[in-house]
Structure 1
């Protein structure tokens, strides 16, 4: 498998299952397993034998919601790795081929067995000539278009005087460009960018607002606490992880910027005097870029 950084990676790979002209084939796994049972393996091997002429453009991995988010993220990647090992050197793979591990962060079926899968996306030889067209890639593209974050003066949420217990949607309505809004209850496992399941409600609320206001553009900002320096760039990775989930749920990538501030903008002096102060410093905020 060839995986390399390329300007093509950013173009529609996260929504690849929706692009017209591609075919797909799914392999299903048993609960908590990263290898398939005999019957499912036979189905995979039969598919390989009868599809040697196709070209694979992506493989996505999924899990059900059982287990922690961190465990499921790892499990979905192992499922993708299993499929890659089975098809390696047997079927042609796009040169800038990429795998995506969604874990449990996708719209799931009520039937849990249908969520434990890896899906192969491929095209037939008749479509090789229009491969880039199918993937939404134009030959004229030299580099991915990166939208520059406007130079906005940050407006701290505390100065906005939002109504007590205001919802995120209400805060968005009352905001202007540059307004910072704290996303309450988005939490991560210690020293990782893996989001805890308790964060689902807050993320769902953000997805709802972004879908309700299609012109809304935001910058997701990450902050950490309790250390002198963000040596592992954890604040940036946490912001990016929130973005990955939003994009996997259909929010256009161009609407979301990310930035990590480490410990450079604490609400309380470091070292913090209490868990309350640490929690206020350890936060995810959004800045309104456009409405």
Structure 2
């Protein structure tokens, strides 16, 4: 199973060894702790009232379906998060959670994969919090995104059947590229499961180009007005998925165009034209 996380928060990459971690383990198919593990967690809480939690990551073993393990690992994260909140341990304002399901098994011993890992910073290191998390201050005015001139994908004349990675390699700032297989349930911003491969491909591109910034642009079809701002909400949902897979928010902007930039006139003459209008694109802001 490839990495793909469908929930709303994201986790930042952790930059230095000053970030600590604490792990608790679960019985098979359980999202609550045994008494022994609960005692260990309570002892950690007692010792870390002044520490700050920056992320909670959940894992599961390979027993069961992928979707079940994704759900189970998220329930484990939620359970631990609830205990931490109840005990008023400090949590970073942009606190992150991440659920790996069985995706990142690192041990052949299944019991070692049924876990939740709490990432935190000790009180003595809090003055260096942003440095530890790899967060650099943004310098205003360095990049003027509004000055970028959009370039339609058709005008780039990419090779036939070029992959997203290949298109990115040939692109420059302003290039728009359609994410062809990112699809949504009708009249919602919920991404359908078949979009997983396309999202994974985009994640690979963003990993390959760590300095690249993009704008996710949403478009809808078949109506004359985007009354519910659905195009923007769909763009935001794609951003949430990227953020939940460790892509920092300062690399991703979003915009909803409604039906103002159709590929074909509205009303569309064919289902194929409607599908072409109903799309998500990325525009490269910088590489």
TM-score normalised per structure 2: 0.72
Gaps of 5+ in 2: 1-8
My pick for the range that moved more, 120-129 or 159-168, is 120-129
* CA distance in 1 between partners of 2:173 and 2:93 (Å): 38
Deviations 1:25-55 (A, max 9, x none): 234557776x315x2x541332213431312
- Give, in whole Å, the separation in 1 of the partners of 2:249 and 2:111: 30
In structure 1, list runs of 5 or more residues that go unmatched: 1-9
Aligned to 2:45: 51
Query: Would you say 1:166 and 2:171 are equivalent positions?
Result: no
Aligned partner of 2:20 among 4, 18, 23: 23
Of the three residues 32, 51, 64, the one matched with 1:36 is: 32
1:66 and 2:66 correspond:
yes
RMSD: 3.8
SS at match of 1:265: coil
Equivalents in 2 of 1:226, 1:123: separation in Å?
A: 50
| Structure 1 contact 62–76 (Cα < 8 Å) conserved | yes
Cross-structure match for 1:3 = none
Task: Give CA-to-partner distance per residue, 1:206-259, whole Å, 9 cap, x none.
Answer: 233334445543222111223443344332233233334434445454433222
Of 186, 191, 195, 1:190 maps to: 186
Is 1:234–2:243 an aligned residue pair? no
Question: Given the superposition, is the C-alpha separation of residues 183 and 30 from structure 1 closer, same or farther in structure 2, using an over 3 Å criterion?
Answer: farther
Aligned residue for 1:165, secondary structure, equals coil
Higher relative contact order (CA 8 A, sep 6+): 2
Quote how far apart the aligned CAs of 1:83 are: 1.9
SS in 2 for 1:203: helix
